[in-house]
Amino acid sequence: MKFKIAVLPGDGIGPEVTAQAIKCLEAVGETFNHQFTFEEAPVGAIAIDQTGDPLPEATLELCKNSDAVLFGAIGDPKYDNDPSAPVRPEQGLLKLRKELGLYTNIRPVKAFPSLIDRSPLRPERIKGTDFTIYRELTGGIYFGEKKLNKEGTVASDLCEYSEAEIERIAHQAFKAARNRRKKLTLIDKANVLETSRLWRKVVTKISESYPEVALDFLFVDNAAMQMILNPSQFDVILTENMFGDIISDEGSVIGGSIGLLASASTGDKHALFEPIHGSFPQAKGLNIANPIASILSAVMLLEHLGLKDEAMALDCAVEIAIKKNIVTPDLQPESKFGTTEVGDQIAELL
Amino acid sequence: MKFKIAVLPGDGIGPEVTAQAIKCLEAVGETFNHQFTFEEAPVGAIAIDQTGDPLPEATLELCKNSDAVLFGAIGDPKYDNDPSAPVRPEQGLLKLRKELGLYTNIRPVKAFPSLIDRSPLRPERIKGTDFTIYRELTGGIYFGEKKLNKEGTVASDLCEYSEAEIERIAHQAFKAARNRRKKLTLIDKANVLETSRLWRKVVTKISESYPEVALDFLFVDNAAMQMILNPSQFDVILTENMFGDIISDEGSVIGGSIGLLASASTGDKHALFEPIHGSFPQAKGLNIANPIASILSAVMLLEHLGLKDEAMALDCAVEIAIKKNIVTPDLQPESKFGTTEVGDQIAELL
Ligand SMILES: CC(C)[C@H](C(=O)O)[C@@H](O)C(=O)O
Ligand SMILES: CC(C)[C@H](C(=O)O)[C@@H](O)C(=O)O
């Protein structure tokens, strides 16, 4: 089969890790006889440098006309100390999510047994951890009205949700839970927020259509504790945009390296795949960045294209590489494998 | 000296643990020749049962006319599954914070060396952890306008902050940092939120008056990782209401038991002291609840009253009890000490 993939390497280590994911997809193509064409476009700080716009129109068009988007990372230190600069890299990502209608962000977290010693948590706490976060990605306080009065002394952000916005991602999450351990945890702050109460009401109603899935609720403050005290209790987590941002980054520490975690952002028409790590500018060009998050994003991309066996093969190749200690220094301080070498070996294992 | 303390034991284990704190304050009074008078009033679920109101007018009046408020815990399972019930225990606490003007919530977190094995984190990660969170407590999305449309299909919560609200707590936090390790970390989401950008601007400006304090910034998602990966990097953390709720509960796992953590909520006129744990209704009446968080709240209360030596003495008594393993089963599964016994022993150590 033929597929057109839009590649948005972005900033920092984005290009390096994305190159490894492409390498692996090409290997998948050869082995399974598919043809992937990759077309590249700028986004983020590099796009601002080139065009003044963190999401140039041509980049957005390319994404809209592709079967999937492979995304690297964005962000550059020169914007970090001035988050109020009128044009900033992150705006590119937020606009892309909104324009492509990517309302469901899926972040799987699991503890690789062979890496258990890398985790900041004690082994007995993380044993059996294997959950997936469904984070709403195009609503809430991220996209609500923002105000600053003329004098610059009062600011506000509006967090807003509609029934329809909650329903569409809730169905995705319940379907996922039905195919897993059949448990769904809604994280909210319903004892304080009106939006959370709407989430609870809508999700409770939808749960009637999924009687085989057990639904429970956790206040976000308690969830932030449970994530560390007992992460294996979770199966599918469903939550709104801001809480999802915090809780999923927190969850990312469990596995020992954020360099292992992939994500898929999906909507009704489009889908984008990216590591959950950032652009890690200090590591740029040093060939030390862990490409596994990007390669696992390619696994999710293959699944999305309906290529189940192909996804499984690439996933296995990653697992074998980790077991064989073919990993970057973040996982094995004395490792001789750099970003490129790990990519080469995984592609070869296919 | 004479002091009048308003005691609001609240729900669940609140009354049991508060009784131990009172016991210790009475012992302090005897040893140091002060006279504490304790006057009790209902709040939370128990107040709803008695009066229909989670914060009866008489309770609020008592708090306003006391030198300090000692608070237990609130919350009851019969409200937990229906967070949209028109009258709920938490409303009592939120209204109390607002009415007393308690805009600064102070939550110290440290790892007791003798309890290091109780932590879900590996010992090498938590060594040296000793930080204090300054959480804004009467603003932000907790108190902004809440809306639900007539059809019940669209909900919103407004997060609003003014310069003045940020300034007053920022000064508190900088002063605290000046007396500690001289580092202040502002946690925000300035790459997305207008309110966060205002926080950054105001806090940066105020930092000019505290040149000896090093200021840095952390996005809340990154902070949720750093809290687990490297908690000893923090000295004073300053943050807004909602982020403070999440991050401080997350930080509470470091020490091994949330039953150890106290908090002070202060304003220009009043101050309230409470454990950060909840009402833990399953443990009610079983004499197993850890009273240390409540006793350490009493330590903070003594400090607030200007009784430094007294505070230090009680703090030492707690440390000795922990070292001697005079602790409840949450810290020592085979412990023979219950809530009352731990309270007795600490009072006696004085
Ligand atoms: C870069 C930032 C705007 C973004 C977010 O907050 O959504 C990032 O943290 C993420 O989680 O993808
Ligand atoms: C009970 C609840 C409203 C409260 C809060 O969210 O502030 C609690 O979690 C706390 O942190 O004191």
Same domain (yes/no): A30, A87: yes
- Residues B285, B252 share a domain: no
Domain assignment of residue A1, yes or no? yes
3-class DSSP state of B273: strand
Look at residues A208, A233, A258 and tell me which one is the last residue of a structural domain.
A258
Domain end among B216, B242, B266? B266
For residue A200, give the nearest of A210, A214, A186, A185 by alpha carbon: A186
Asked if residue A264 belongs to a domain, the reply is no
CATH number of residue A228's parent domain: 3.40.718.10
State the pLDDT at residue A126. 92
Classify A238 in phi/psi space as left (phi over 0), alpha (psi -120 to 50) or beta: beta
Asked whether residue A164 falls in the same domain as residue A114, the answer is yes
Task: Count Cβ neighbours within 10 Å for each residue of A328-341 and write b for 16 or more, e otherwise.
Answer: bbbbeeebebbbeb
B112: confidence class by pLDDT, cuts 50, 70, 90: confident
pLDDT of B81 > 70? The answer is: no
**Active-site residue list of A:** 142, 189, 221, 245, 249
pLDDT tens for B236-288 read 999 999 999 999 999 999 988 889 999 999 999 999 999 999 999 999 999 99
Strand partners, B214: B183
Q: Name the pLDDT band for A77 (thresholds 50, 70, 90).
A: confident
Is the pLDDT score of B195 beyond 80?
A: yes
A297-319: per-residue pLDDT in tens?
999 999 999 999 999 999 999 99
* Tokens, residue A261: 């975690």
Q: Are residues B252 and B275 in the same domain?
A: no
Residue nearest to atom 11 of ligand 1 (CA): A245
A278 or B160, higher pLDDT:
B160
Instruction: Give the domain-ending residue among A258, A291, A312.
Output: A258
Nearest residue, CB atoms, B224 vs list A154, A193, A246: A246
Owning domain of residue A236:
109-258
Across all residues in chain B, what is the average pLDDT? 95
Radius of gyration of chain B (CA): 20
Structure tokens at A154: 């009062």
Q: What is the DSSP string of B47-112?
A: HHHHHS-SS-HHHHHHHHTSSEEEEEE---HHHHT-TT-SS-HHHHHHHHHHHTT--EEEEEEE--
Which ligand places an atom closest to the C-alpha of B219? 1
- A231 and A130 in one domain? yes
> Do B194 and B115 belong to one domain?
yes
CB–CB of A197 and B83 under 8 A? yes
Instruction: Using the predicted structure, report yes or no on whether residue A293 has a pLDDT greater than 90.
Output: yes
pLDDT of the residue at A112:
84
Residues B235 and B321 in one domain: no
Structurally, how many domains does chain A consist of?
Answer: 2
**Model pLDDT, residue A83:** 60
**A258 falls in which pLDDT band (50, 70, 90)?**
confident
- Average pLDDT rounded to a whole number, residues A2-29: 97
- Domain assignment of residue A263, yes or no: no
Q: Are residues B49 and B128 in the same domain?
A: no
Q: Are residues A36 and A139 in the same domain?
A: no
- List, for residues B142-191, the tens digit of each pLDDT value: 999 999 999 999 999 999 999 999 999 999 999 999 999 999 999 999 98
Closest chain B residue to A140, measured at CA: B156
pLDDT band at B115 (very low <50, low <70, confident <90, very high): confident
**CA proximity to A18, closest of A310, A303, A291:** A291
Same domain, B89 and B108: no
Instruction: Give, in degrees to the nearest 5, the angle at Cα B260 between B256 and B262.
Output: 135
Tell me, rounded to whole angstroms, the distance of Cα B187 from its chain centroid: 18
Which of A136, A158, A240, A245 should one mutate to test binding to chain B, selecting the residue with the greatest count of B CBs within 10 A? A158
Which residue's CA is the closest to the ligand 1 atom numbered 7?
A: A245
pLDDT tens across B327-350, in order? Answer: 999 888 899 999 999 999 999 998
**Distance of CA B61 to CAs B39, B58, B99, B143, B271, Å?**
12, 5, 10, 22, 14
Q: Per-residue pLDDT averaged across B68-87, rounded?
A: 84
Give the residue ranges of the annotated binding site of B for substrate: 97, 107, 135, 221
- For residue A81, what is the DSSP state? T
Q: What is the pTM of this model?
A: 0.96
What is the distance between the alpha carbons of residues A264 and A105, in angstroms, rounded to a whole number?
6
Q: What are phi and psi of B54, to 5 degrees?
A: -70, -15
- Whether residue A117 is found in the same domain as residue A59: no
Q: Whole-number mean pLDDT of chain A?
A: 95
Do B16 and B85 have their domain in common?
A: yes
> Residue B19, class by beta-carbon neighbours within 10 Å (0-12 exposed, 13-18 middle, 19+ buried)?
middle
At residue A84, does pLDDT exceed 80? Answer: no
What is the distance in angstroms between the Cα of A245 and the nearest Cα belonging to chain B? Answer: 6
pLDDT (0 to 100) of residue B114: 82
Cα Rg for chain A, rounded, in angstroms?
A: 20
Which whole number is the average pLDDT over A276-288?
A: 93
| Residue with more model confidence, B78 or A122 | A122
CB contact (8 A) between residue A147 and residue B194: yes
Asked if B276 and B261 touch (Cβ cutoff 8 Å), the reply is yes
Inter-chain CB proximity A155 and B94 less than 8 Å: no
- Nearest chain B residue to A195 by CA: give it: B155
Q: Among A35-44, B21-30, B325-334, whose mean pLDDT is lowest?
A: B325-334
Q: Given an 8 Å threshold on Cβ–Cβ distance, is A195 in contact with B155?
A: yes
At residue B117, the pLDDT reads 86
Known binding-site residues of A for substrate equal: 97, 107, 135, 221
